[in-house]
């Protein structure tokens, strides 16, 4: 142990990089902030403190470097170079074969190619009528069960159900009608919470995710209660996968290009990639990641629009002029051209920081990084990362970064150096591992937000910024206090 400590502090290729000595000495430093400190999920904020103290490049654990430099982000996450991720991160969500979890670039690319056609812009445009139909269903539920009965709606749960209905329909061609639940408390509300609850333990102790998969289900439920909803979710996914497998095997009358899972099963993936366990991991990625990002963005947008009269009035005016009849929604292409609606969504995406946790890449060759006073040579094989949270809260790029200001996105916004502000919008990541579902998420957000805000007015109900909105922990996505019940509103 003494020899290891001496090596990490003085002899390691990373020994000359700035940062806390305790972080360089042991990975338990990160574990403490992610699991034991306060609400947990505090390491992202601790890294921000490190940068304030030590500069733009810091050693955050014995083996990894973090760079907080907006101009270097494209160097880390580039389309020009393929890169691997650290192997231990594959167990982060208990789905080691999913696209997001796959560490090796070659295998990641193979798996991603099988799904990419389903998320191309042209394909999403074909899906728009079905997304709109589900958004209309959401509005009917609001009218009948909340506005008419004069009771508050939990927007967080409602948007989870809306996105879950879209995602399961597109992934499996199954209509579960989660929007039909009395209070929008779909199973995915608890499943997503369960995935977030196990993410940090499985990241800090990679063997834990593997070990839990080997144990009987009843034992896992006893030892790790958050896994209960995750296991229920995984069981549902296995049933849906088997239905899709039977369709393919029996030659049923289905269109392989109609749903993502049928497309995967009839793709050119090798047979070993089509096992039930690996398909379950793909399904977890499609559903889990596919729900979390747009749900969080819609909830963030609604809270800030509802709570600011001027923003609400400006958005309502634009929507009324563009859509005189609320029952005749605009085509997606026209929604995309509404400047204030687009600005509200860009600002919500910036604040939602859907992928909050860092995603390290492994440098496959030495990389030079130059600060104002020296040049650092990052050794080959070193995990390096940057985080969306730090980019989107860079006060030079986004003054008053914690406030909701749609106006910052209007009229071709530029930074003080003259560069387009959109260069620094990284809500969906960048490079070869950017979010595969970006086009679908944007369509769901545009259609959902415009339909709601044109049809209803809202007033917040027993919701406070400090308890229900302010981000106090990084649970892979931004999270609020554990005692929050969500953002609630009365429908008018």
Residue 83: is it exposed, middle or buried by C-beta count within 10 angstroms (0-12/13-18/19+)?
buried
Cα–Cα distance, 195 to 184 (Å, whole number):
19
* pLDDT for 353: 82
Q: Does residue 116 form part of some domain? A: yes
* pLDDT for 334: 97
Q: What is the pLDDT of residues 347-356, one digit of tens each?
A: 999 999 867 7
* pLDDT for 113: 93
Q: How far is CA 259 from the centre of its chain?
A: 22
Cα–Cα distance, 124 to 286 (Å, whole number):
15
Task: Answer yes or no: are the C-beta atoms of 219 and 231 closer than 8 Å.
Answer: no
Please list, in sequence order, all residues whose beta carbon lies within 8 angstroms of the beta carbon of residue 151, skipping any fewer than 6 positions away. 145, 490
Beta pairing, strands 383-385 & 65-67: parallel
* pLDDT for 94: 73
Cα–Cα distance, 14 to 75 (Å, whole number):
19
Q: Does residue 60 form part of some domain? A: no
HEC string of the chain equals: CHHHHHHHHHHCCCCCCCCCHHHHHCCHHHHHHHHHCCCCCCHHHHHHHHHHHHCCEEECCCCCEEECCHHHHHHHCCCCCCCCCCHHHHHCCCCCCCCCCCCCHHHHHHHHHCCHHHHCHHHHHHHHHHHHHHHHHHHHHHHHHHHCCCCCEEHHHHHHHHHHHHHHHHHHCCCCCHHHCCCCCCHHHHHHHHHHHHHHHHHHCHHHHHHHHHCCHHHHHHHCCCHHHHHHHHHHHHHHHHHHHHHHHHCCCCCCCCCHHHHHHCCCCCHHHHCHHHHHHHHHHHHHHHHHHHHHHHHHHHHHHHHCHHHHHHHHHHHHHHCCCCCCCCCHHHHCCCHHHHHHHHHHHHHHCCCCCCCCEECCCCEEEECCCCEEEECCCCEEECCHHHHHCCCCCCCCCCCCCHHHHCCCCECCCCCEHHHHCCCCCCHHHCCCCHHHHHHHHHHHHHHHHHHCCEEECCCCHHHHCCCCEEECEEECCCCCCCCEEEEC
Range of the domain at 102: 69-354+387-491
CATH assignment of the domain containing 150? 1.10.630.10
Q: What is the pLDDT of residues 167-192, one digit of tens each?
A: 989 998 888 899 998 889 876 666 66
Q: Does residue 286 form part of some domain? A: yes
pTM: 0.94
Q: Does residue 41 form part of some domain? A: no
Task: Answer yes or no: are the C-beta atoms of 251 and 257 closer than 8 Å.
Answer: no
* pLDDT for 188: 66
Q: Does residue 485 form part of some domain? A: yes
How many independent structural domains does the chain possess? 1
Q: Does residue 179 form part of some domain? A: yes
Cα–Cα distance, 463 to 444 (Å, whole number):
25
Q: Does residue 15 form part of some domain? A: no
302 is in an annotated binding site: no
Q: Does residue 234 form part of some domain? A: yes
**Residues of the chain falling short of pLDDT 70:** 187-192, 194-195, 220-230, 252-256, 354
């Amino acid at each position: 142990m003494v020899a290891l400590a001496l090596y990490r502090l003085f002899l390691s290729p990373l020994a000359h990089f700035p940062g806390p000595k305790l972080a360089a000495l042991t990975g338990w430093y990160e574990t403490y902030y992610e699991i034991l400190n306060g609400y947990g999920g505090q390491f992202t904020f601790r890294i921000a403190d490190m940068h304030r103290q030590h500069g733009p490049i810091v050693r955050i654990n014995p083996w990894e470097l973090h760079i907080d430099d907006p101009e270097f982000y494209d160097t880390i996450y580039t389309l020009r170079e393929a890169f691997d991720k650290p192997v231990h991160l594959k167990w982060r969500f208990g789905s080691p074969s999913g696209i997001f979890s796959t560490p090796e670039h070659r295998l990641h690319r193979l798996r991603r190619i099988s799904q990419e056609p389903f998320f191309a812009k042209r394909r999403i445009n074909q899906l728009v009528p079905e997304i709109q139909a589900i958004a209309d269903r959401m509005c009917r539920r609001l009218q009948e069960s909340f506005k008419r009965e004069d009771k508050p709606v939990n927007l967080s749960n409602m948007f989870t159900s809306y996105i879950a209905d879209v995602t399961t329909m597109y992934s499996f061609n199954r209509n579960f009608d989660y929007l039909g639940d009395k209070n929008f408390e779909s199973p995915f509300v608890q499943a997503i919470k369960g995935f977030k609850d196990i993410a940090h333990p499985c990241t800090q102790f990679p063997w834990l995710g593997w070990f839990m998969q080997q144990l009987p289900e009843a034992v896992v439920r006893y030892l790790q209660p958050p896994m209960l909803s995750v296991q229920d979710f995984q069981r549902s996914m296995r049933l849906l996968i088997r239905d899709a497998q039977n369709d393919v095997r029996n030659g049923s009358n289905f269109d392989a290009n109609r749903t993502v899972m049928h497309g995967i099963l009839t793709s050119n993936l090798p047979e070993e990639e089509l096992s039930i366990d690996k398909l379950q991991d793909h399904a977890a990625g499609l559903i889990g990641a596919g729900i979390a990002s747009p749900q969080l963005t819609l909830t963030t947008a609604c809270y800030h629009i509802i709570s600011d009269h001027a923003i609400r009035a400006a958005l309502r005016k634009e929507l009324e002029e563009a859509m005189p009849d609320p029952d005749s929604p605009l085509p997606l292409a026209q929604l995309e051209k509404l400047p204030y609606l687009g600005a509200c969504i860009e600002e919500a995406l910036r604040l939602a920081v859907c992928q909050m946790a860092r995603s390290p890449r492994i440098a496959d060759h030495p990389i030079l990084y130059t600060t104002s006073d020296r040049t650092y040579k990052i050794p080959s094989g070193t995990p390096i990362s940057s985080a969306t949270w730090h980019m989107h809260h860079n006060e030079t790029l986004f003054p008053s970064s914690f406030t909701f200001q749609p106006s910052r996105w209007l009229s071709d916004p530029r930074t003080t150096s003259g560069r387009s502000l959109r260069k620094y919008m990284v809500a969906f990541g960048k490079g070869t591992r950017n979010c595969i579902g970006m086009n679908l998420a944007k369509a769901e957000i545009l259609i959902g937000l415009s339909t709601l805000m044109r049809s209803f007015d809202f007033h917040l109900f027993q919701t406070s910024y400090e308890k229900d909105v302010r981000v106090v922990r990084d649970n892979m996505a931004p999270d609020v206090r554990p005692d929050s019940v969500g953002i609630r509103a009365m429908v008018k």
